[in-house]
Structure 1
């Protein structure tokens, strides 16, 4: 085997993790692919004969590429979406899979259950904070390997990760892991919504639940907070759910609403303590059209 063939094989072995790193950093599947491709190009331009751990080297290279992309995105960002409360947000690209079907590639991408709610919080972090948190907390990269990427000391990098961790834990508590129980909660919500049972809806919604809708540039963003406010919109949710089919969104229960075989909306549930703490809707027709739904629609 030639040196180039060996390098290509090694890179392909690490590609799933590099995609996972890039997705958590960027929240965009297409940009994540671009970042991984750039890592491959940099590998081809670099003499790695002295590199002891190619996987670690590729991870830090991918992190550096994503950091540059985030900084560039911040510098040229157009007017972001705003909810009714004036807070800016944009839902990340969802990873959609068929309910009850295990996709090995998606399993790697979503290995640490990084749900939509967590991705929303990650998008509020400064680029340096996001890099420190993602590489250290999600991929166990030592601070002394992250620090050179940021041009900081290890101690300063540790502080960045700690600050990001506090924000993440405060805004996106760890979701429940019992898949069957999560499905029960979602089914209970949908049944209550269809029946217009306000009390039953309150029973499955966390008092501080947040509902976010991203309609892109064509439709205004919407943010609602609190169980009573979200429950009051249950009739709208039920309308989407009537012709919906269950899916997995970032490894968690979700619902895809269809009309004439075309996706109308994608709903993701985040469940903590047996109650729904976040509902995220993607209704942007342009982004919905770009989703890979073959496993869902063909199932």
Structure 2
């Protein structure tokens, strides 16, 4: 028994339409699941923002209200006028800016490991990677003793110095800069450019994606620094935002609106930086070989 071409075509078209309907249903199901997951993930952030603009009486009501009835920015002003959050913010910005110097140093180290051959290169790179396996808490006491001997305790430089460079960041720079064509660097040297000029005018512009990744990571590390500033500084005027937020939770535990206002000041800049550099961050991780 033979099947007519018309019947075969109709069956094929029917199977195709059925597959498309299944594909659309699967897309709808996956999209719905992702949307629900996104809403659940974003809800604490939304709650923080709304609570930060609620009056104290409304933030303590039960059952709680999702959207403030009478929003106010009073507690943001309180943070910077009656409390020391202006000083904490300035300290945090200084620590982040000092970390920017480390960004250049790590880029230079990654470039050296990627494009230069020298004695002991493999062993030195192995030591850099080995530092990634050592918890920060293990080296905290020796680091404190070293900085104390250098008279850098209770200073902003002492807070920022231990996080100036990291093995993971050097590894990322090395992985990315290994992809830069050596021919381009050789052409620059033939044209008379020195090594430092080649690094500044060719290597760094070609490394914008990984620099963006490291800028975000460095910013987050400096902005969120908590334990080390608490250890190294005994002067409250040298504390960073995260330490100030913890002190606020201890001192004023009856005002959720003030706490959420402080948390908003802490979190929103990180989100802004990540949104601005998001495209470069994804590109940098992809080109560095990290999945």
TM-score by length of 2: 0.26
Which has the greater radius of gyration? 2
| RCO comparison, higher one (Cα < 8 Å, 6+) | 2
The structure whose residues are more often helix, as a share, is 2
The structure whose residues are more often strand, as a share, is 1
TM-score by length of 1: 0.25
